[in-house]
């Protein structure tokens, strides 16, 4: 079925070649009385061309219908995946924000820069408030259509962010100690969990596409 456009194109090409050859042969045979020309004049080549063009049109219709069905299926899959993909994209954004935070604190440490604790705390609070995703996570977990493995991977990925959020809530920890602990989670734990989450998302997407 993937070769339908090629088949339709070949049909069109064959039809054009047949038309050209037929017109040339007709012109040649008008002034010839050979046996081959008598046989040719008895051939209904117009019907052959009409059949080829009809076949080409039918193939294009089938291909267009398939493309429409595929587009509808993709829209259905996107709608079904909306909540889980939304959560995945937000987690990825969180990871990028946390990485920016770590890089800023690391730069301060390496270059012995003065740390503005008020600014750091404000940054902590902003990060912490963005890491929860409770409502979206609840929607994913309460949806019976999502596979258990996908739900589990979703929860584990979110929990890695919650661990970071809990570290950011600690008022006693030093800035550098906090940064070190967050960096450990981000570099050692989160990548595997995020990758596992994406793997289950892709698996479920393929499952939906096949049905």
Provide the residue count of the chain. Answer: 211
d(CA 25, CA 42): 12
Give the alpha-carbon dihedral of 181, 184, 185, 186, to 10 degrees. 120
pLDDT at 153: 92
pLDDT for 160 equals 82
Whole-number pLDDT of residue 2: 56
* Contact (CB, 8 A) for 1 and 66: yes
Tokens 């940064």 locate to 179
Calpha distance 202→52 (Å, rounded) = 42
Q: At 171, is the secondary structure helix, strand, or coil?
A: coil
Residues of the chain with pLDDT below 70 are: 1-9, 11-12, 15, 31, 33, 40-41, 43-45, 48, 52, 111-121, 124, 169-174, 189, 211
Q: What angle, 0 to 180 degrees and rounded to 10, lies between the N-to-C axes of helices 4-29 and 45-80?
A: 170
| 3-state SS, one letter per residue, for 103-133 | HHHHHHHHCCCCCCHHHHHHHHHHHHHHCCC
Among 15, 36, 11, residue whose Cα is nearest residue 25? 36
pLDDT of residue 199: 92
What's the pLDDT score for residue 211? 66
Q: What is the pLDDT of residue 152?
A: 93
Closest by CA to 137, choosing from 164, 168, 161, is: 161
Query: What's the pLDDT score for residue 171?
Result: 55
Q: What is the pLDDT of residues 165-198, one digit of tens each?
A: 777 766 555 677 777 878 887 777 677 888 899 9
First to last CA, the chain: 17
Buried/exposed 133-169: b ≥16 CB within 10 Å, e otherwise: beebbebbeeeeebeeebbebbebbbebbbbbbebbe
């Amino acid at each position: 079925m993937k070769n339908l456009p090629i088949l339709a194109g070949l049909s069109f090409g064959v039809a054009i070649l047949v038309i050209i050859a037929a017109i040339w042969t007709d012109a040649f045979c008008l002034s010839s009385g050979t046996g081959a020309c008598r046989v040719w004049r008895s051939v209904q080549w117009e019907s052959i061309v009409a059949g080829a063009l009809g076949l080409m049109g039918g193939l294009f219709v089938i291909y267009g219908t398939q493309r429409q069905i595929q587009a509808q299926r993709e829209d259905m899959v996107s709608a079904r995946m909306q909540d889980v993909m939304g959560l995945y994209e937000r987690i990825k954004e969180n990871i990028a924000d946390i990485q920016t935070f770590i890089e800023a604190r690391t730069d301060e440490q390496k270059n012995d820069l003065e740390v503005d604790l008020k600014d750091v705390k404000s940054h902590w609070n902003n990060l912490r408030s963005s890491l929860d995703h409770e409502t979206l996570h609840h929607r994913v977990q309460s949806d019976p259509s999502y596979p258990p493995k996908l739900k589990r991977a979703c929860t584990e990925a979110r929990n890695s962010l919650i661990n970071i959020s809990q570290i950011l809530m600690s008022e006693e920890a030093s800035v550098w100690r906090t940064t070190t602990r967050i960096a450990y989670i981000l570099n050692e734990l989160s990548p595997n969990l995020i990758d596992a989450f994406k793997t289950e998302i892709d698996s479920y997407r393929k499952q939906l596409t096949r049905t």
